[in-house]
Amino acid sequence: MGRVAQLRCRACGTPHPVGPEYVCERCFGPLEVEYEASSLREATRERIASGPRSIWRYRSLLPAEPQDDDLQPGFTPLVPAPRLGERLGLRRLYLKNDTTNPTWSFKDRVVAVAVAAARAFGFRVLACASTGNLANAVAAHAARAGLRAVVFVPQGLEAGKVLTTSVYEPTVVEVEGTYDDVNRLCTEIAGEHPWAFANINLRPFYSEGCKTLAFEVAEQLGWRLPDHVVIPVASGNLFVKTEKAFAELLGLGLVEGKTPRLHGAQPAGCAPIAAAHRRGDGQVTPVRPQTVAKSLAIGNPADGYYALQTVRRTGGVFEVATDEEIVEGMKLLAQTEGIFGETAAGVTVAVLRKLAEAGVFGADEVVVALITGAGLKTLEAVARGGRPAIRIRPTLKDFEGQVLAAV
């Protein structure tokens, strides 16, 4: 692992040798990768621009060797959103469209890095505890890499998530319980069996893949930072690593200015970090999830404590969306900008709207909303609108009588 000098505890700073480890032996804090200075120095705008159109263009800021035979996730479109912006009173709104990834969510980014690390450590089995999208990505990337995949999911997942995962033929294990039960079980398994759990024993590597979203946003804005980013939050991993990514770009002199204000979006039925931020006591109290946004249904978020620090440090806010608002958010996004996002996108757009109404954004500030997953996997949420509005016989008369009148 040439690029990674060592692992270091985020809480107490104790260094650890590079390996498939994720907790500090001294204080049980989470481990982070620490890069060789020579690798970081390689990160110039020119080198990045000449790299592949995937996450691997940021190779010197990632903790694994680039894989040129993988599914090449990342480098997804950053599109201006003038019609949604007009509705919300924002002149410079952009959407980062991660629905175009190989398995239609941002999880392809983290899994690609996890697979590269799993290969380097010599693992044969790639596993995960998932709320759906991670299982989907693990199954696909493992198939591509010739690894065996075993994915653990909570009961009651959307049919679309199970189907789009099963097609790659991993072993899909439905666990009776919530995601938090699944995660606890997988943590026990990872301690006993030599499997690579993408988001458990490979978490220090996996989580770094999140940074590529922020890297792309800055590069696609012409190496400028936005003023605000609205981010859907489950475990808090993407949220925390977005701050780290912008800090790295600033530290390396690849961009100027200051870290954007990072705003967290959670479903009202599972908002432990938003609640803790509101209380202001710095403690995340686990909740039992009850929300249509199953991809964000983590009641005991691994990075919750650090997410609270990120939101405070960057001057962001946390806001929540009810199930009804989530569905409205999905429809608003589709109807104004032609992007069919999943329930997590509905959370993001609903929160974006609330923050705009609350006056959090200046009219000329650059606002980026992260659209992290595709709507075809969560059809249940919008199923009631799924019927043709008009049915006619194949005649011009019916067309003129019934269709023209309705357009």
Ligand X SMILES: *Cc1c(COP(=O)(O)O)cnc(C)c1O
For binding to ligand X (CB under 6 A), which residues are involved?
Answer: 105, 107, 133, 232-239, 295, 342, 344, 372-373
29 binds, among ligand X, Zn ion, none (CB under 5 to 8 A by kind): Zn ion
Q: How far apart are the first and last CA of the chain?
A: 60
Q: Which is nearer to Zn ion, 9 or 113 (CB)?
A: 9
**Residue 325 identity (one-letter amino acid):** E
105 binds, among Zn ion, ligand X, none (CB under 5 to 8 A by kind): ligand X
Q: Which is nearer to Zn ion, 29 or 51 (CB)?
A: 29
24 binds, among ligand X, Zn ion, none (CB under 5 to 8 A by kind): Zn ion
- Distance in Å, CB of 355 to Zn ion, minimum: 35
237 binds, among Zn ion, ligand X, none (CB under 5 to 8 A by kind): ligand X
Q: Which is nearer to ligand X, 61 or 369 (CB)?
A: 369
Query: What's the rounded Cα separation, in Å, for the pair 362 and 244?
Result: 24
Return the HEC string of the chain. CCCEEEEEECCCCCEECCCCCCECCCCCCEEEEEECHHHHHCCCHHHHHCCCCCHHHHHHHCCCCCCCCCCCCCCCCEEECHHHHHHHCCCEEEEEEHHHCCCCECHHHHHHHHHHHHHHCCCCEEEEECCCHHHHHHHHHHHHHCCEEEEEEECCCCHHHHHHHHCCCCEEEEECCCHHHHHHHHHHHHHHCCCEECCCCCHHHHHHHHHHHHHHHHHHCCCCCCCEEEEECCCCHHHHHHHHHHHHHHHCCCCCCCCCEEEEEEECCCCHHHHHHHHCCCCCCCCCCCCCCHHHCCCCCCCHHHHHHHHHHHCCCEEEECHHHHHHHHHHHHHHHCCCECHHHHHHHHHHHHHHHCCCCCCCCEEEEEECEEHHHHHHHHHHHCCCCCCCCCCHHHHHHHHHHHC
Q: Which is nearer to ligand X, 43 or 289 (CB)?
A: 289
Q: Which is nearer to ligand X, 210 or 218 (CB)?
A: 210
- Distance in Å, CB of 348 to ligand X, minimum: 8
Q: Applying CB under 5 A, what is the total number of residues that bind Zn ion?
A: 8
Query: What's the rounded Cα separation, in Å, for the pair 169 and 192?
Result: 24
5 binds, among ligand X, Zn ion, none (CB under 5 to 8 A by kind): none
Tokens of 11: 């809480």
267 binds, among ligand X, Zn ion, none (CB under 5 to 8 A by kind): none
- Distance in Å, CB of 12 to Zn ion, minimum: 3
- Distance in Å, CB of 250 to ligand X, minimum: 22
Q: Which is nearer to Zn ion, 240 or 293 (CB)?
A: 240
- Distance in Å, CB of 4 to Zn ion, minimum: 18
208 binds, among ligand X, Zn ion, none (CB under 5 to 8 A by kind): none
Q: Which is nearer to ligand X, 18 or 344 (CB)?
A: 344
Q: Which of residues 221-260 bind Zn ion (CB under 5 A)?
A: none
Q: Which of residues 9-68 bind Zn ion (CB under 5 A)?
A: 9, 11-12, 14, 24, 26-27, 29
- Distance in Å, CB of 185 to ligand X, minimum: 18
Q: Which is nearer to ligand X, 4 or 110 (CB)?
A: 110
- Distance in Å, CB of 363 to ligand X, minimum: 28
27 binds, among ligand X, Zn ion, none (CB under 5 to 8 A by kind): Zn ion
- Distance in Å, CB of 347 to ligand X, minimum: 8
Residues that bind Zn ion in the complex, under the rule CB under 5 A: 9, 11-12, 14, 24, 26-27, 29
